[in-house]
Chains A and B, each alone.
Chain A
């Protein structure tokens, strides 16, 4: 069962998302059918523009009128119709249950779902645990999402690496996680972005993840693996921790760039104030509903 706090977070995220709309991504590979217009030129009933003929182009698209006038071979460009599908994936590991990360992740997921509805994009909400698991009612309104548990004693990396290919092709994919697990992120980012029209990785960190408020000796225990380290946390240790976090972020940034994915970040305790709007708006993923083009 989903706790009351999480239900409240979902409701709030849906409320915020209802005033926003997802923006279709620029680069969409050619696909079959659909009700939305893609921006890439391709076979379509709607003429867009001319370009010079290149070997391999469909000869049926040659514009003979232009050839007759100018002896120049040009082809017509047309819009292709595409229906983007939105995959909303949330990290279901135990680390997401620390602090208010779970509530923040659910709020962002609900916001994206509501924005998808505004854009008339179908969507599906899944938890990444040992497998990619569709959440009950995950394609319906966020209020009906149920049975959401962050109890996986492991990382989402394995499930993503193995099952990302099962995600809808040419879909817009949103992965919400704290990204705090060992290993190279490049493979995960690449798996997420494979065959996707847009990939957005949203890192939700808890305040304690970003800036541990500790002094003295601590035994820090990994909530997922139960491994522990004993640390004397002072100013020097805090500096080392911050450096490690910065390197981790840069690693994910680089991996996302390579996979042509977008990375957005927020702090769970501040998600109400800033649910990664800035990064999503800068990436032209999300915009207010009234400025719909």
Chain B
């Protein structure tokens, strides 16, 4: 059993041995002491200092103990690894948690395969990593629900390898082939998918009574969409790279929840969408600035009603004392900025805001609050708590003619509306978060499977982990599984890639035994101290 040294250069510490010998030889340089007589000293056996007769070199016990300690410390520093005695190996099972694993019973097949592998060979310990958007450890397959819109297998495999150690084996259970060939080693890839034809919803949106649906189809498979609609139905079809055909439908729907379904096929998760109407009342805005472009941008949001009596947001061109306000500073005599613009993308006011090619005229000077949009070092938009300031000179700008203008005002309306009671969005994607402002201290959340829990206000975040209709107190929102990559089953495969090589199976791994050497060195040093103390005591 030959130890493997991870840091053999540490053995250079053995150079201390000659130094130790030199010290002991130096110590043998004798100091002088007068004694009463030599008759008692003659009884002490002396090591020979030289001569023709060979005698065994006599070194004290302390020398040998120090030598042992040096050797052990040097060897421990070299990181010795010894093969482990145990024949069982750690195993981490990485489970693809994406929606496509629901198709064709891939999940069930994967679980059966994993259990058969566990029965064939002894693994210890066995860990499970659920590979969703963010990988996580779970105790058993019960937590593997295959309801993630995406699966980051690379991150999950990296987590498995780092957490379980270099000796662990990894078994990946998924429905598609790996991106790159796998060589024999620690990772084994097993896929249980099949290139099935599937029809499913990949996008769904609702604005008022207008619904937009996108259906992905892979062939001439006939499809039928069931759902109540009225009025004109717009149909269009596009083909994406990779062969996926997207059919878009725009419908007018009555008030109330709208549900659309497709025929049963290989994957059921994408055969149904439910879209709830946005029941948020329009934002009451007091427009106290004479600017038609602002008014048209606000009205274009369809989320605003002008109300100068009980406004929830005041738009003005003067300094305002209102609680929620937007100050538009029309100062002239400024400069026409053409960029580059510095945009704080973490701020909700800049969502979808693109200023390429925009000429933004504004007076120079500082602005109170946190800058959100700057031209160089000149703030153009700033937020100060509940107050937004926009510095804008329309006479030397083209911003109000660009799509960025209504986008900015849409963000301002959403920014204020997000503080009002109710849901921020009436429909969310599976796995996304729904944000709700509560008017009561607590509210009961009811999932589509009727499980309930309580959340506390004034605001709550609900993870939409199931498709269907969720209820949060008096509010409801819809959750839909909309993932084109998961609906497209044409790339799914079954098979095995990569093998656990013989070395990985027969070798039980290595154990760092430096701690054993350190303990022995410690014992040697303790013995050295006792010997030294005993010599002193006598």
Contact = CB atoms under 8 A, between A and B. Distances in A.
Interface in B485-538: 531, 534-536, 538
A71 B535 CA distance: 76
B54 interface: no
Contacts of B38: 220, 222, 225, 227-229
A237 interface: yes
A232 B24 CA distance: 11
A197 B225 CA distance: 141
B32 interface: yes
Contacts of B62: 234
Contacts of B536: 215
Nearest to B28: A217
Interface in A237-282: 237-245, 248
Contact of A235 (B34, B40, B538): B538
Interface string B338-382: 000000000000000000000000000000000000000000000
Interface stretch (A38-46, A107-115, A138-146, A206-214): A206-214
B49 interface: yes
Interface residues of A, number: 45
A62 to B, nearest CB: 57
A228 B41 CA distance: 10
* B27, B28, B33, B47: most-surrounded residue (chain A CB, <10 A): B33
B450 interface: no
Nearest to A210: B40
Contacts of A219: 30-33
B45 interface: yes
B292 interface: no
B28 A232 contact: yes
A244 to B, nearest CB: 3
A38 B186 CA distance: 108
A178 B39 CA distance: 12
Q: Is the interface of A mostly helix, strand, loop or mixed?
A: mixed
Nearest to A245: B40
B28 A95 contact: no
A81 B49 CA distance: 65
Contacts of B534: 235
Interface string B14-51: 00000000000001111111111111111111110100
B60 interface: yes
Interface in B57-88: 58, 60-62
A245 to B, nearest CB: 6
B33 A229 contact: no
Contacts of B531: 235
A224 interface: yes
* A206, A209, A234, A244: most-surrounded residue (chain B CB, <10 A): A234
Given A232-B60, A237-B44, A181 B37 contact: yes
26 contacts: A101-B36, A180-B40, A181-B37, A214-B33, A216-B28, A217-B27, A217-B29, A219-B31, A219-B32, A221-B34, A221-B35, A223-B35, A224-B36, A229-B38, A229-B41, A229-B42, A229-B44, A230-B30, A230-B46, A231-B30, A232-B46, A237-B44, A239-B538, A240-B44, A241-B40, A243-B43
Q: Top 4 nearest A-B pairs by Cβ distance?
A: A244-B43, A95-B36, A180-B37, A235-B535
Interface of B: 27-47, 49, 58, 60-62, 531, 534-536, 538
Given A95-B36, A209-B36, A229-B42, 7 more contacts: A217-B30, A217-B31, A222-B36, A229-B41, A232-B60, A237-B44, A242-B538
